[in-house]
Amino acid sequence: MEHAPKAIDVTNDVEMRTFNFFTMGIDGHPLGLHLDMAIPTILNNADEEQQKDWLPKAANREFIATYAQTEMGHGTNLKKLETTATYDPKTQEFVLNSPTITSTKWWPGNLGKSSNYAVVMAQLYTQGKCHGAHPFFVQLRDLNTHKPLKGITVGDIGPKFGMNTVDNGFLQFDHVRTPRRSMFMKHAKVLPDGRYVPPVHDKLNYSAMVFIRAAIVSGMAYHLLVTSTIAVRYSAIRRQGEITPGAGEVKVLDYQTQQHRIFPQLARGLAFRLSGQYIMKLYTQTMDDIRNGDISAVPDLHALSCGLKAVTTHHAALGLEQCRMACGGHGYSQASGFPLHYSVAVGACTYEGENMVMLLQTARHLMKIAKAIRAGQSPKSNKIVDYLFHKGPPKCLIDQAYDTNYRNVLESFEHLARRQTLEVYDKLVQLQQQGRNYEQAWNDCAVELCKATRAHVRTFLARTFVEEIDKISDLSIKSVLQDLLQLYLYYEVTECATGLLEDGFMTGQQHKYAKKKIYEALEKIRPNAVSIVDSFDFQDRELHSVLGRRDGNVYENLLKWAQSSPLNKTDVLPFHHKYLGKMMEEARQRSKI
């Protein structure tokens, strides 16, 4: 931290993040939540006076704060958080309490050891009534001794799959008093006498979530592009088997199976990146709209962001593992970087909203749209969902001559999303007519509802990819990216082929055509693959990978990396003669007798 000002402009958020990233790696650091969650909460939820007090101190790092929401017993379902903040008008304080073991705050990053403050989400009670979860800014540890304050139990939750440089923590309150003004009061308020003043509207909570999930989409793009880079580079070094007799062993990247493993991850990485950028722009625009009193776009955008988060994190996790396995045994070594990237990236499948819950969240929104469609309503000229209202072609046209904008492929994705959405809506209605209550009917349809969301998200990702590539003016760059686009689109067609085939929309011949286009795209990408990943310009210290080194000197550095392992400090481990050596020696003595 103290070296940062020498290297960068520390007031520039992007530069600061990049500096942190390069110096502290990808698995987290003690100020991560302070920068990513606590400060934004102060900005979004503290009133002017609170901001004036807290923000400069936070920016100067006079304290380290984190964001404590998730509890041991409840993560995604905020309504059921058990931590309470009960207002006592006599002392004008809130009393924070953890009434059960399951109410223990659990998982917040940097909570265990680093932070001395936290944004704490707790059920607000005042004048005998609960008003739901609200954020409070609470001191946890003494500023000088760093010891937990009276009534506070705090610690680390122990080792995890990854991100072990982050002290995810637990936190319990035993009737801890905190001033009235520690409640964040930009939106809701509690007056000194205990009266509760509700927020004007709660749509702003949505937008914060959209921001986080848009950031996750871009994060998944990053992980996929990094791991594709490693896999492509290593596959251009590794040789195995002959294709042309006598010509020597070929680079494994020449194998169709290897291309078919790696290149779709590259294409998906690009698709996620473009959609991540797009949705971040949409977020900024929607925030402007909200300030101008127009909140109409928020529900569609919020719903999309849930589904996008679930789909991109899931596909990134699968894709990272494909890249790892494409590197054979060496991919299993930490020298490859894959174990690090996977264990960090895969966390996103369960944090910030568990994926299955996310898919169903989007589906709730899709069912509202289906209801409007069945009621004969017109679309609201919203680009994200309007296609659901339109009628597409009755038959798939993917093998027909198409314009460069792949309308025929996009229409196929739209067809599937529309059909799946309406079919499951009709089923929901039917089950309720048969006597199931709404939630029961919902549960009976849950797997099919998730499929509707996935089809909707696929449509969005594909449309965005097509539109963004279309905007590129440099024709040589465009041509290379169009190969990746071709791969992406037809790969997605085969991924959802069952849905396209089962109602007779697509024919078997058309599915064959899609596969042919995939194999064709793989061949086109092959000669450019190394240049494509080199163009991302990742630094070696970002990749954390001997296999993915830019200079290609894999094998000698694999040996060097191994030799520097702590186990190799001595030829013979210091405790060898105490255990294994002794066991063998005694056995030899016995056999001599």
Stretches 42-50, 325-333, 455-463, 465-473: which one binds a second copy (CB under 8 A)? Answer: 325-333
Q: Considering only CA atoms, which of 153, 124, 146, 128 is closest in space to residue 136?
A: 124
Residue 444 within binding range of a second copy, rule CB under 8 A? yes
Structure tokens at 326: 């494409």
Strand partners, 153: 172
According to the binding rule CB under 8 A, does residue 22 interact with a second copy? Answer: no
Name the minimum Å distance from CB 385 to a second copy.
23
Pick the piece of the chain touching a second copy (CB under 8 A) from 126-134, 182-190, 227-235, 432-440: 432-440
From the list 262-270, 286-294, 381-389, 492-500, the region that binds a second copy by CB under 8 A is 492-500
Nearest to 108 by CA among 97, 119, 99, 98: 119
Q: Which is nearer to a second copy, 378 or 564 (CB)?
A: 564
Q: How far is CA 590 from CA 70, 576, 582, 593, in A?
A: 60, 20, 12, 5
Backbone angles phi, psi at 254, to 5 degrees: -80, -10
What are the two backbone dihedrals, phi and then psi, of residue 17, each rounded to the nearest 5 degrees? -65, -45
**3 state SS of 114:** coil
Q: Give the Cα separation of 420 and 76 in Å (integer).
A: 26
Q: What is the CA radius of gyration of the chain?
A: 28
**Cα dihedral 437→441→442→446 (10° resolution):** 160
Torsion sign across C-alpha atoms 34, 66, 132, 176: negative
Measured from the CB atom, is 88 or 438 closer to a second copy?
A: 438
Q: Please identify which residue in 3, 6, 14, 60 interacts with a second copy, judged by CB under 8 A.
A: 60
Binding mask 129-168 for a second copy (x = CB under 8 A): --------------xxxxxx-----xxxxxxxxx----x-
- The answer to whether 502 contacts a second copy (rule: CB under 8 A) is yes
Q: Is 23 in the site for a second copy (CB under 8 A)?
A: no
- Determine whether the annotation assigns residue 347 to a binding site: no
Residue 22's closest CA among 553, 550, 544, 547? 544
- Candidates 88-96, 132-140, 185-193, 570-578: pick the segment binding a second copy (CB under 8 A): 570-578
| 24 is a site residue for a second copy (CB under 8 A) | no
Instruction: Tell me: is residue 548 an annotated ligand-binding position.
Output: no
Q: Which of 54, 170, 222, 513 binds a second copy (CB under 8 A)?
A: 170
Looking from the CA of 428 toward its CB, the CA atoms found within 13 Å total 23
Q: Report the residue number, 46 or 64, with the smaller CB distance to a second copy.
A: 64
Question: Should residue 551 be labelled a site residue for a second copy when binding is judged by CB under 8 A?
Answer: no
Whole-angstrom distance, CA of residue 185 vs CA of residue 351:
27
Kindly state whether residue 577 participates in binding a second copy, applying the rule CB under 8 A: yes
User: Which of 28, 30, 219, 392 touches a second copy (CB under 8 A)?
Assistant: 30
Residue 56 CB, shortest distance to a second copy, in Å, is: 7
494 neighbors 515 (Cβ within 8 angstroms): yes
What are the distances in angstroms from CA 139 to CA 33, 189, 255? Answer: 15, 20, 58
Rounded CA-CA distance 421/453 in Å is 8
Taking CB under 8 A as the criterion, which residues in 107-126 touch a second copy? 107, 112-114, 116
CB of 314 to a second copy, least distance (A): 9
Which among 352, 411, 414, 542 is annotated as catalytic? 352
Q: Is 236 in the site for a second copy (CB under 8 A)?
A: no
- Identify which range of 218-226, 273-281, 301-309, 567-575 contacts a second copy by CB under 8 A: 567-575
In the numeric block, which tokens belong to residue 143? 């500023």
- Please select the residue that binds a second copy; options are 347, 409, 490, 492, rule is CB under 8 A: 347
Phi, psi of 557 (to 5 degrees): -80, -25
Name the minimum Å distance from CB 325 to a second copy: 5
Q: Rule CB under 8 A: choose which of 503, 531, 534, 535 binds a second copy.
A: 503
Q: Label residue 382 exposed, middle or buried (CB < 10 Å: 0-12, 13-18, 19+).
A: middle
Catalytic-residue membership of 354: no
Tell me: does residue 520 bind a second copy (CB under 8 A): no
Positions at the binding site = 70, 109
- Please list the active-site residues: 352
Positions at the binding site for FAD = 70, 109
